[in-house]
């Protein structure tokens, strides 16, 4: 039974890692498309005085999606901004303990934000709230990435907590 459970956890871990890698690739594609559309907008604005009206709003939404699609991968790779000057002076076991504690706190915060954002997204769906700017779209289609992103961060934070606890 334990072997079966360990195989399941290992398979789920591989699937999760592949999923966040592909979400990061998707964020990169969105970033490239966003950059191209902004460049085209600038060229059209200054050459024929006819900018693309949809670029500004699309860029706002793209930045939100890029953030939440790539954040979990950045956390997994430990490439996020951090202030580790004080931690570098500590011993490896104490450093791992502090990192485990902060990762656990992060997991709790991410879970709370996931829950709150799921409730808000459900509210947007139930009340048919729309965004009316250049596009007229259901607001939940933009906000749905927030609970997804924070849930993925919650899982990655738990994985980090476990990894650091193994170092103690």
pLDDT, tens digit, 9 for 90 and up, residues 125-137: 999 999 877 778 8
Q: In angstroms, rounded to a whole number, what is the distance separating the alpha carbons of residues 150 and 72?
A: 8
Residue 100's nearest CA partner among 156, 151, 163 is 163
What is the SS3 assignment for 138? strand
Alpha-carbon dihedral sign for residues 72, 74, 76, 78: negative
Total count of residues recorded for the chain: 168
Alpha-carbon dihedral sign for residues 55, 56, 57, 61: positive
- Token couple for 96: 């791992």
Q: In angstroms, rounded to a whole number, what is the distance separating the alpha carbons of residues 128 and 134?
A: 18
How high is the pLDDT of residue 118? Answer: 97
Residue 142's nearest CA partner among 111, 116, 120, 167 is 120
Q: In angstroms, rounded to a whole number, what is the distance separating the alpha carbons of residues 131 and 136?
A: 5
Q: In angstroms, rounded to a whole number, what is the distance separating the alpha carbons of residues 142 and 149?
A: 12
Mean residue pLDDT of the chain comes to 92
Residue, of 2 and 163, whose pLDDT is higher: 163
Name the phi and psi angles at 65, rounded to 5.
-65, -40
What is the SS3 assignment for 91? coil
What is the SS3 assignment for 90? coil
How high is the pLDDT of residue 133? Answer: 79
**pTM beyond cutoff 0.85:** yes
How high is the pLDDT of residue 153? Answer: 97
Mean per-residue pLDDT, 53-69:
93
pLDDT digit string, tens, across residues 68-116: 999 999 999 988 777 777 888 888 899 999 999 999 999 999 999 999 9
In the predicted structure, residue 64 carries a pLDDT above the cut 90: yes
How high is the pLDDT of residue 158? Answer: 97
User: Do 154 and 72 form a contact (C-beta atoms < 8 A)?
Assistant: no
How high is the pLDDT of residue 2? Answer: 81
- Token couple for 45: 């604005």
How high is the pLDDT of residue 41? Answer: 93
How high is the pLDDT of residue 82? Answer: 75
């Amino acid at each position: 039974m334990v072997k079966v459970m360990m195989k399941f956890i290992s398979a789920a871990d591989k699937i999760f890692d592949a999923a966040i890698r592909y979400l990061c690739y998707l964020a990169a594609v969105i970033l490239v498309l966003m950059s191209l559309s902004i460049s085209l907008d600038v060229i059209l604005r200054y050459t024929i005085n006819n900018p693309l009206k949809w670029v500004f709003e699309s860029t706002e939404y793209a930045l939100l999606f890029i953030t939440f699609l790539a954040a979990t991968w950045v956390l997994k790779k430990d490439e996020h901004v951090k202030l580790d000057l004080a931690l570098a002076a500590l011993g490896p076991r104490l450093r791992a303990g502090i990192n485990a504690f902060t990762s656990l706190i992060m997991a709790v915060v991410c879970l709370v934000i996931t829950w709150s954002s799921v409730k808000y997204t459900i509210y947007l769906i139930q009340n048919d709230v729309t965004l009316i700017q250049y596009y007229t779209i259901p607001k939940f289609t933009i906000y749905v990435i927030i609970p997804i992103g924070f849930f993925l961060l919650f899982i990655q934070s738990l994985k980090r907590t476990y990894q650091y606890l193994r170092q103690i």
